[in-house]
Structure 1
Amino acid sequence: MFRRADAPAAAYPDLLAVSLRAPRAVVCLLSAAAVHDLTDEIPMAVQIAVPRGTWPPKLDHPPVEVFVWDPATFELGLDSVEVAPGERVRIYSPGRTAVDLMRMRNKLGESVAHIALRRYLARRDARVADLFAYAKALDVLGPVRAAVDVLAAS
């Protein structure tokens, strides 16, 4: 991708490059957690979600990991973040990201999911009701509720 030479520097150039090539995709999981300060992990690839039934984007650079998700819940918790002045990228909200990490905890790691959930609950804008609504819609209410109970007790 090319940008004007005088364009302001992007805070997240890889996210910007991916979103320009795959405008329907949504930044998710560890990539979203890094943007929302829910993790200290550095993703090895930009993680994006696309709805099932669409063609996943094929990108050479930057490295991309594509997740194919249910179209019925694809737009749930959709947000955007400014990655460069005047340029926004579709990304899942902090609450949706924490729930998605719990949903993918067997693949991405239980500790990553719990840290993200703990950091989300420590935020001023944390909304437990939204967290439970996302968890219910994504069919992980039991594990999320149990993790929130443990974190609240400690």
Structure 2
Amino acid sequence: MAANAELSEKQTVVEVCKRIPKGTVCLLSALAMHELTTQAPFEVWLAIDRKDWLPQVKDLPIRIVRFSGDALKSGIEHRVIDGVSIPVYNPAKTVADCFKYRNKIGLDVAIEALKDGWKARKFTMDEIQKYAVICRVQNVMRPYLETLIA
């Protein structure tokens, strides 16, 4: 790759995860990794503990969100990209997070991810309900879940 070439989306995720090893890829970036969105995020969305210091990385496009407790620790899987293990929330946890952060990313994005993930069989109803409870969005998600099984 040429020295002046822009980093690809995957290379950017790898660089961000190398520099912020306590972070977990989440929200729009996780949706893209799971192929659950038509949007290409221009920032790498990363979850860190609400008590952690805010990372100072000026040369990479990063969007930090704060999670805590089970919402931070649950549903993490690892993907290997260019030999680097990347922590990313699984599809069901990612969709629940999208409903939790619907004011930041848009309710339409969360609903699209739920429908697309269900259609592509990326998660079961039990999995999505488990993470809805962990993220405390079961009441918000209930009407949309009901339309999936209707």
**Cross-structure match for 1:134:** 131
Which ranges in structure 2 are unaligned for 5 or more consecutive residues?
A: 1-6
Could you tell me whether the CA contact under 8 Å between 2:92 and 2:123 is conserved in 1? yes
C-alpha separation in 1, matches of 2:59 and 2:144: 36
Aligned partners of 1:83 and 1:89 also within 8 Å: yes
Q: Which moved more, 1:119-128 or 1:104-113?
A: 119-128
Q: Would the aligned equivalents of 1:11 and 1:83 in 2 still touch at CA under 8 Å?
A: no
Distance in 2 between the 1:37 and 1:109 partners?
A: 18
Superposed, 1:75-114 pairs within 5 Å as 75-84=73-82, 86-114=83-111
Classify 1:10/1:46 alpha carbon distance in 2 versus 1 (closer, same or farther; 3 Å): closer
Q: Residue 149 of structure 2 corresponds to which residue in structure 1? A: 152
* Counterpart residue number, 1:47: 45
Work out whether residues 70 and 134 of structure 2, in 8 Å CA contact, stay in contact via their aligned partners in 1: no
Question: Does the 8 Å CA contact 1:10/1:83 hold for their aligned counterparts?
Answer: no
Match status 1:68 vs 2:66: yes
Label 1:40 to 1:109 Cα distance change in 2 as closer, same or farther (>3 A): same
Q: Report the equivalent of 1:33.
A: 31
TM-score normalised to the size of structure 1?
A: 0.87
Aligned to 2:10: 12
Total equivalences in the alignment:
145
Asked if structure 2 preserves the Cα contact closer than 8 Å seen for 1:27 and 1:47, the reply is yes
- Which ranges in structure 1 are unaligned for 5 or more consecutive residues? 1-8
| CA 55–73 in structure 1, closer or farther in 2 if over 3 Å, else same | same
Q: Matched residue of 1:12: which SS?
A: helix
Distance in 1 of aligned mates of 2:71 and 2:131: 9
> Displacement of 1:123 after TM fit?
2.2
The percent of aligned pairs where both chains have the same amino acid is 29
- After TM superposition, the structure 1 stretch with the greater mean CA deviation from structure 2, 56-65 or 43-52, is 56-65
Coordinate RMSD, CA, aligned: 1.9
| Letter matched to residue 51 of structure 1 | D
Aligned partners of 2:61 and 2:9: how far apart in 1?
18
